[in-house]
Amino acid sequence: MDEVVITAEQINGKITELAKEIDAEYADREPLLVGVLKGAVMFMSDLARQLERPSTMEFMAVSSYGSATTSSGVVRILKDLDRDIAGQHVLIVEDIIDSGLTLSWLLKNLAARHPASIEIVTLLRKPDAVKVEVPVKYVGFDIANEFVVGYGLDYAERYRDLPYIGRLRPSVYGG
């Protein structure tokens, strides 16, 4: 890992802001947080702890076929939700929207299960990489179109444990 792009303090401050917005929006509804494994684990646990309003949690694991640094848009479910979300106020929690292909697919898949409402919160978004627009209600940081790791995000399963977001040298991943 070569350069810190977003510090742990900046992440924490942004989550405080997002939690306030979400608390206000869900003042009379209990959100069901749906975390997308594995990348969203850190963000989901910090966000849930900063929300003052109660929430419940579910996790889903999906995999897009493709190389470690590109997304193909073909998605398969590795782990589905444990319960029915019909009538629930679903808030999808993602670590990053890159091409948008994963979330675009996931949003359609979950919307078809008849939740009462469905919104998305993502910690990171790469506006210059987006191939398909996804209606995202809450965005932490818009970042440049470069490969980042840390705070849940991996390269070949490494670096998820870093408390900050960093940039990898292209020579590390062949980019």
Burial 44-76 (b: 16+ CB within 10 A, else e): bebbbebbeeebeebbbebebeeeeeebebebe
CB of 91 to ligand PRP, least distance (A): 15
Cβ at position 138, least distance to ligand HPA in Å = 18
Length of the chain: 175
Question: Per-residue contact track with ligand HPA, 81 to 120, x per CB under 6 A?
Answer: ---------------x-x----------------------
Is 98 noted as a catalytic residue in this protein? yes
Q: What angle do the packed helices 41-50 and 8-25 form, to 10 degrees?
A: 60
| CB-CB contact of 145 with 125 (8 Å) | no
Contacts (Cβ under 8 Å, ≥6 apart) of 173: 68, 69, 147, 155, 156
Give the one entry of ligand HPA, ligand PRP, none that residue 58 binds, where binding means its C-beta sits below a cut-off of 5 to 8 angstroms depending on kind: none
Query: Does residue number 107 form part of the binding site for ligand PRP (CB under 6 A)?
Result: no
Confirm or reject binding of residue 97 to ligand PRP (CB under 6 A): yes
Binding residues for ligand HPA, total number by CB under 6 A? 7
Residue type, 169: R
CA distance 72 to 70: 7
CA distance 159 to 87: 37
Beta bridge partners of 121: 93, 138
The one catalytic residue in 2, 98, 142, 161 is: 98
Q: Which stretch binds ligand PRP (CB under 6 A): 26-34, 51-59, 82-90, 97-105?
A: 97-105
Single out the residue of 14, 29, 38, 53 in contact with ligand PRP (rule: CB under 6 A).
38
Q: Pick between residue 51 and residue 168 the one whose CB is nearest to ligand HPA.
A: 168
18 contributes a contact to ligand HPA by CB under 6 A: no
Contacts with ligand HPA by CB under 6 A lie at 96, 98, 147-149, 153-154
Catalytic residue ranges: 98
